[in-house]
Structure 1
C-alpha cells in the first residue's frame, strides 16, 4: 500500500537552519529575524527555525516563543516553506513531551504563526513505531487547535540505524487507516548523530562519507513519494567540496542538501539547475577537466595529455604515462571515450522539443548529434557523437526541467534572477516542454 502524497513540492534544493534563541543578546531572536528576511537565491526552499541542536537546551522555551513572534510577523512575506525543528528522541519520553508542548505552542492559531508554518521537523527518530508516535502528536496538535487533519507536514532526520531500517517500512505503513504518515514530507540525513549511533571511527576523526546512507534515504524517498535531503556540510569555506558532495548526491537522486549559511544556500539553490551554457569535459588522468571554449573550439590547456599529428591522418597521443600511435579513426574513438558534453538549459529544451515533434509525427526514436572541435597541444580534432533518443531518454532528460518548473512555480522571488541567468525566451520554452 502506498499513500497519496499531501505536499505539492516535487523538489527541495535547500534546507536552511537558524538558531531560535541566542543567549546573551539583547534580541535573542535576531538570527531568526535575519533569516526571515532572506530573498531570492539567498532564501532557502525550506527554512528550519531550529529549536534543537542549534539552540542551547536552556533557551529552547524562549526559542519556541521566538518562533511564534517572528513567524507571525514575517511569515507571510517569506518566499519558501517554514518547518520548525522541535526536540525529540526515540529513547527519551520527556524529550518527546517537550517537543510536543512546543508544537502545541507554535501551532496555536490565536498566536498567528501557524498560518505560515507548513510543518515540523522531527530529529532522532527510531524505528517505524517511533515515527508513528510523532505522527500521533501531530494529529493531536491539529485536533486540539481545530486544524485540518494532515495540514501539518512531518519531516524526519535519519540519525540512527533504526531510522535507516525504517525507510524500508514506509511503503507498507503509509496510507494505513491507523496512522497519518501520509503527512511525511522530507527525509533528511543527519550524518553526525548517525556516526555516533553507529559507533563509527575514522583515523582523522572526520565523518565517514556514508554513501550508503544517502543512497538508502534517496531510495526510501523515491519509493514513498517523499523528498530526500542530505545533511550539513560543516566546512562552510570549502565551496568546491560542497559542490562535489552535491554532484555526488544528484547522481543518487538526492537533489536537496542542508545549508548552514546564506552563501551555501545560494550554491545549493543553483547547483541542481541546468547550466546557462553547455560545456565539454575531457577525461585526463582519471578526472574530468572542463575544456576552455574559444571561437567555437574547445581547448585543453593542461600538459598531462599531449597530441601531435605525425603524418596524414596519423597521430601520437601521450596519455596516462604511455605513448600510442593512432590513425584518425582510432583517435576519434579514443576521444569519444574521453569526452562528455554537459548540456545547457537551452540544449535540453531544444532536444526535448525536437523529440516531442518527432513523437507527434509518429516516430518513436531519433538520433541527436553532438559535435565539437577539440584542441589538444594545438592539434585540432573533430569529435562527433550520435545519441539515440527514445521515450526513456526523454523521461530522464525531463528531470532537470521538471526541477526548474517546480522552482519557477513555487519561488516567484527568484523569477528575475532565473530570467537573467537563462533569458526570458528560454525560460518561457522550459515552462512549456514536458
Structure 2
C-alpha cells in the first residue's frame, strides 16, 4: 500500500458518469427491477461508475430488501457490466446509529458467500463530516475487508461532499492519507451533493432553486487534484434541459471536473459523450451578444446572426457592431475578426497537432509554430483569417488532456470502441491511442 496520497491505487484517471439506481422499489413483482435494468446497460448508455443507491434513492422501509437485491443482481450481472460498481450506503456524520447501519449494509453486500463482492469496486459514503468522520468510514471498510478476508484497501471509498465540514475536510486529505493509522489511500471519488450542501449552508434563492455553488465545484476539483482523486459534480435535476446539462459540463471541465452525476440513461449518454473531443472542428465568432458557432459551407464559415454586419467599400470595409460602424482596411478587419474568432479543434485536429509536435521534438526542436486558417463570411463578404500558435512542451501537455481522457475511455470501456470508431473513424482512433 503506497504512502503517497497523490498516487492512484486504481486504474482510472477519468470518470465521466456517476449513475444512481434505487436498490428496491415498492409495488410490482420485482423490487429489483431498476437494478436489473441498469445492470444491462451497455455502450454509451452504460456509466463509468454505477451506484446502486441504498440511501436517498431508496425508501427507508425498502433498504433491507435493497441490500439483498444488490447482492443478487450484482452477483448475477456484475461480471458483464462494463463500468465500475460502487453501491451507496447510509451514513451520517452526526448519527452513530446510521453509521453502524451503513457498516452493516457494506458487510452484507461484501459477503463472499453472496458472490457480489467479486464485482464490487467500492462503496459511496454520503453525508460525511470532518476528516475524523472520513476515517470512521475508512475504518468501517477496513473492518469489512478484515471480517471477510479481503485484501486491505481492495474496496475503494468515495464520499459525497454535502456539508461545510466535508468541504473543509478535503484540505486535510494530503496530510492524513498514508498515515499508518488509516487506509485513506482507498479514496476514489469526491462527489458534490448540492442539495444537502444547500440545506447545510442554509442557502436560499428567490425561486427556491438550488444555488449554482461554483465555489464548491472549484474546491472539490482542487481537493481531488491535490490528493490524486477524481472530482464529480452533483445531480442536474432538470432531466429535460439537455442544453443546460451540457452547459454545466462545459463549465465544470474548465475547472478540471470531468465527471457529473447522471439521473437517467439519457443523461449518461450526454455525459459520456460531451467531454470527448468533437468529431468535426468548427469556428466560433463573438458578435457582441455571445459566441456562436459558424456554419460550414463550401470551405467557408458563414455567420448567420444579426448582431454583426459587414459591407465592402471601394477602399476598405464597414463593420457594424451593436449599431455602431467601424471603417477598417483589410488588415484591421482581419485583426478584428481574429480577435472575435476561436477554433474548436476536432479529434483529428488534436491528433495531427500533437503528432506534428512529437515529430518536431524527436528532431530536436523545442518549439514550433502551427497555423490555423479559415475564410469567414459575413453578409456575403468573405474574409481570410490566419493565426499562428507556438507549441512547446507546456502547450503539448495542456493540449494532451482531451487525448488522455480518450485513451482512458478506450482502455477501460471496450464496449464503447465501436461507438468511438463510428464517431471519429478507425484511423483517427488508432492514431489517438498511440500518442504520447
Normalising TM by the smaller chain, what interval?
over 0.9
Q: Give the structure 1 partner of residue 154 of structure 2.
A: 151
Q: Give the structure 2 partner of residue 210 of structure 1.
A: 213
Q: Give the structure 1 partner of residue 256 of structure 2.
A: 253
Q: Give the structure 2 partner of residue 389 of structure 1.
A: 391
Contact 2:85 2:120 in 1 (8 A): yes
Q: Give the structure 2 partner of residue 321 of structure 1.
A: 323
Measure, in 1, the Cα distance between the counterparts of 2:9 and 2:355.
31
CA offset digits 1:178-221 (Å, max 9, x no partner) = 11000000000000000000000000000000000000000000
SS at match of 1:228: strand
Q: Give the structure 2 partner of residue 68 of structure 1.
A: 71
Unaligned runs of 5+ in 1: none
Measure, in 1, the Cα distance between the counterparts of 2:189 and 2:287.
38
Measure, in 1, the Cα distance between the counterparts of 2:279 and 2:322.
32
2:101 is equivalent to residue 98 of structure 1: yes
- TM-score relative to the length of structure 1: 0.99
In the TM superposition, 1:88-127 aligns within 5 A as 88-127=91-130
Contact 1:2 1:224 in 2 (8 A): no
- TM-score relative to the length of structure 2: 0.98
Measure, in 1, the Cα distance between the counterparts of 2:323 and 2:43.
48
SS at match of 2:29: coil
Q: Give the structure 1 partner of residue 178 of structure 2.
A: 175
Find runs of 4+ consecutive structure 1 residues off by over 3 angstroms. Answer: none
Q: Give the structure 1 partner of residue 340 of structure 2.
A: 338
2:204 is equivalent to residue 201 of structure 1: yes
SS at match of 1:54: coil
Measure, in 1, the Cα distance between the counterparts of 2:46 and 2:354.
30
Contact 1:12 1:256 in 2 (8 A): yes
2:71 is equivalent to residue 87 of structure 1: no
In the TM superposition, 1:31-430 aligns within 5 A as 31-312=34-315, 314-430=316-432
Q: How far has the Cα of 1:154 moved from its partner? A: 0.2
Measure, in 2, the Cα distance between the counterparts of 1:206 and 1:317.
42
Measure, in 1, the Cα distance between the counterparts of 2:180 and 2:290.
51
CA offset digits 1:159-192 (Å, max 9, x no partner) = 0000000011111111111110000000000000
Unaligned runs of 5+ in 2: none
CA offset digits 1:213-271 (Å, max 9, x no partner) = 00000000000000000000000000000000000000000000000000000000000
Contact 2:45 2:268 in 1 (8 A): yes
Q: How far has the Cα of 1:26 moved from its partner? A: 1.1
SS at match of 1:386: strand
CA offset digits 1:108-127 (Å, max 9, x no partner) = 00100000000000000000
Measure, in 2, the Cα distance between the counterparts of 1:171 and 1:337.
42
CA offset digits 1:275-313 (Å, max 9, x no partner) = 00000000122411000001110000111111111123x
Contact 1:2 1:172 in 2 (8 A): no
SS at match of 1:431: helix
Measure, in 1, the Cα distance between the counterparts of 2:119 and 2:299.
50
SS at match of 1:393: helix
* Alignment root-mean-square deviation, CA: 0.7
Moved more, 315-324 or 93-102: 315-324
In the TM superposition, 1:15-26 aligns within 5 A as 15-26=18-29
Q: How far has the Cα of 1:320 moved from its partner? A: 2.4
Moved more, 230-239 or 1-10: 1-10
Contact 2:308 2:319 in 1 (8 A): yes
Contact 2:125 2:160 in 1 (8 A): yes
Q: How far has the Cα of 1:321 moved from its partner? A: 3.0
SS at match of 1:75: helix
